Amino acid sequence: MLTAGVDEAGRGPLAGPVVAAAVILHPQRPISGLADSKQLSPGRREQLYGRICSEALAWAVGRAEVEEIDRLNILQASLLAMRRAVQGLDPVPRRALIDGNRCPQLPCAARAVVGGDRLIAAISAASILAKVTRDREMRELDRRFPGYGLALHKGYPTQAHIRRLQVLGVSPVHRRTFGPVRRLLEGLGGE
């Protein structure tokens, strides 16, 4: 049975999209070294990213933009990104294993697996694709919106990031409904 692993990256940051990936591993070509992307060095993630893209039976990336995150909420936007990733797969999986405790609505059977990025190779592969894709995008956003340090902290609410927000103001890639950004906007009289 064709099974996709699905995971996302970027639920907690104050800036940037949430990115999800779906991967169907080739049953005759296992990829050694797959693990939860958070447990791997950036260099190792990049190496595995290349192998996953070239050796997996199928893979796809989906995303939800900042405007969708602010409109829907981060959970619903994450589920939307996952659905988009699964819908991008060819061949279409018969089932999907989702990292976490919630499943998006999918055109195939789906099961949530808490800690799946550590337990199931296909979910590990999806976690790596999602993390590398989002990290690359945050480096690009850092070039487009300099001064916030997006390439360094990837949009997460570090003290340095919040200080830069206070100095520079809110950029178009900041999530306006997230606490520190919302409070800053409210203090400025909103937008």
C-beta separation of 161 from 149 below 8 A: yes
Mean pLDDT of all residues in 21-37: 94
pLDDT given at position 190: 52
pLDDT of residue 189 exceeding 90, the answer is no
Fold (CATH) for 3-136: Nucleotidyltransferase; domain 5 (3.30.420)
What is the phi-psi region of residue 146: left when phi exceeds 0, alpha when psi lies from -120 to 50, beta otherwise?
Answer: beta
60: part of which helix (H) or strand (E)?
strand 58-64
Task: Tell me the C-alpha distance between 21 and 81, whole Å.
Answer: 8
Q: Which pLDDT score is estimated for 1?
A: 86
Q: Where are the beta strands (DSSP E) in 102-166?
A: 109-113
pTM, full prediction: 0.95
> How many CA atoms does the CB half-sphere of 52 hold within 13 Å?
32
Is residue 191 over pLDDT 70? no
**Average confidence (pLDDT) over 51-67:** 98
Task: Specify the amino acid at residue 119.
Answer: L
How many Å apart are CA 62 and CA 83, to the nearest integer? 7
Please compute the mean of the pLDDT values over residues 64-74 and round it to a whole number. 98
- Residue 7: band (very low, low, confident or very high) from pLDDT cuts 50, 70, 90: very high
Q: What is the largest CA-CA distance in the chain?
A: 59
Decide which of 38 and 15 is more confident: 15
Mean pLDDT within 9-28: 97
What 3-state DSSP class applies to 156? coil
Q: What is the mean pLDDT of the chain?
A: 96
Give the CA distances from residue 190 to residues 176, 177, 183, in Å, rounded to whole numbers and listed in that order: 10, 11, 9
Q: How are strands ordered across the β-sheet holding 109-113?
A: 58-64, 18-24, 3-9, 95-99, 109-113
Q: Taking residues 26-43, report their average pLDDT.
A: 93
pLDDT of 110-158, one tens digit each?
999 999 999 999 999 999 999 999 999 999 999 999 999 999 999 999 9
Calpha distance 42→48 (Å, rounded):
10
